[in-house]
Amino acid sequence: MNYNSSKTVLQASGDPLTDMLRGLRLDGVDYGRCVLGEPWAVSFPAQKAARFHFIGQQGCWLFTPAKEWTQLSVGDALLIPRGDEHVLASAPGVPPVPIGRYTIEPVCENIYDVSNGCDGCKTLLFCGSMHFNLDGSHPLLEMMPDLMQAHKLMANAPGIQHLLDAMAGEVTMDRVGSGGILARLADVLAATIIRSWVENGCGDSTGWIAAVRNPDVGKVLAAIHLQPERDWTVEALARMMGASRSAFAQRFATVVGETPAKYVLRVRMHQARQWLTRDGMRVSVAASRLGYDSEASFSRAFKRVMGLAPSHFRNAAGEEQA
């Protein structure tokens, strides 16, 4: 494994949102084309991958991760960044059936037909699992809301509808390369939904949206995510924002919801986890890459953030590849 290739330093674009999204990419995607006759209700269990849904024909209802029912119309699209448990149904009160118990037939690579065999009024859904390179506990995904609804954003982002139309066309055709094309469309769709939500979404004063909308803090967050290997100090980050150490620390904590040191540590340890699980990097090499004097001190910091020793993740990755 050539670890040196990942030392390439990405250059900031000048747009904090663009820079932060560059750290988030899709490693894989699975789609289901669901044709469901009323009455129906599908429960989607919690999972590590994000989920998205597009309502292609006949409206339905969503039981949200916040345990509330909300009505969906044709053309609505949902992104659930951390894959929280939820239910889609023809109406509230229909007993939900786990998605795994429906009839599922492969169409082509990573695309499946899902049906329930009922003869009632048909609803057409496009459902997908988006396997991001980061897990839901990573700061970048953790800042996002539980649910993003694209129909609230389409007036200001017409490109979303064009992407969904293109995806609908691909998923209905069993053609060579459809899986790869859909993965790329989904990658752009996810970034577009996130960008549109940030630009036009809720007015929260803390967290992701406030951080990205704030030009100073957004610039700092982008730099941290672009160069997680760098030994970021509060002083260096304060200089980037053009503020004193104390003023910067207070501003960062107010907007992001945690101290700069804690945020930097979490980003660095998640990067180390990626090296261990995705690249099979040795623990000692990861420790050195992050500037730790010893493997032991790195392991203590890693366990404090991730809950388990780094050797656990590297050993688990080795077993999966065996």
CATH code of the domain containing 251: 1.10.10.60
Q: For residue 145, is it within any domain?
A: yes
Whether the model pTM is above 0.95 = no
Sheet bearing 69-72, strands edge to edge: 69-72, 60-63, 86-89, 41-44, 97-98
Residue 41 to residue 47: CA distance in whole angstroms: 18
Q: Which domain holds residue 306?
A: 209-320
Clarify whether residues 217 and 136 are in a common domain. Answer: no
Judged against a pLDDT cut of 50, whether residue 100 lies above it is answered with yes
Secondary structure letter of residue 242 according to DSSP? T
Same domain, yes or no: 97 and 215: no
State whether 223 and 179 are in the same domain.
no
CA distance linking residue 218 with residue 226, whole number of Å: 12
Same domain, 191 and 64: yes
Q: Do residue 141 and residue 216 come from a single domain? A: no
Dist. CA 239–CA 248, nearest whole Å: 9
Q: Over 60: is that where the pLDDT of 177 sits? A: yes
CA distance 219 to 237: 10
H helical segments located in 99-207: 139-142, 159-171, 178-200
The span from the CA of 8 to the CA of 116, in Å, is 49
Check residue 69 and give its pLDDT.
Answer: 96
Residue 40, beta-bridge partner list: none
| CA separation for the pair 120, 122 (Å, rounded) | 6
Helix axis angle, 260-278 to 215-226, nearest 10°: 30
Checking if the pLDDT of 4 tops 50, the result is no
Identify the pLDDT of residue 17.
Answer: 63
CA dist 288 and 275 (Å) reads 12
C-alpha–C-alpha distance, residues 123 and 39, integer Å:
10
For residue 111, being part of any structural domain is answered with yes
pLDDT of residue 40: 93
Most confident of 187-201, 287-301, 306-320: 287-301
The mean-pLDDT minimum among 5-9, 177-181, 188-192 falls in: 5-9
Mean pLDDT, residues 247-261 taken together: 91
Mean pLDDT within 101-118: 75
Supply the CATH number for residue 141's domain.
Answer: 2.60.120.10
Confidence of residue 68 (pLDDT cuts 50, 70, 90): very high
- Computed from CA positions of residues 54, 160, 14, 203, in that sequence, does the dihedral angle turn out positive or negative? negative
Q: Is residue 6 part of a domain?
A: no
* Closest to 98 (Cα-Cα) out of 110, 90, 89: 89
Instruction: Report the distance separating Cα 83 and Cα 65, nearest Å.
Output: 9
Confidence (pLDDT) at 72: 92
Q: Give the domain-ending residue among 179, 200, 221.
A: 200
Are both 178 and 296 inside the same structural domain? no
Q: Within this chain, do residues 196 and 227 fall inside the same structural domain, yes or no?
A: no
In-domain check, residue 14: no
Residue 307 lies in a domain: yes
CA distance 109 to 129: 14
Q: How far is CA 167 from CA 62, 125, 149, in A?
A: 22, 12, 17
The answer to the question of residue 61 being in a domain is yes
Length in residues, the chain: 322
| Overall domain count for the chain | 2
Do residues 146 and 242 share a domain? no
Asked whether residue 241 is assigned to any structural domain, the reply reads yes
Residue type, 256: V
Domain check: are 243 and 173 in the same one?
A: no
Residues 65 and 180 in one domain: yes
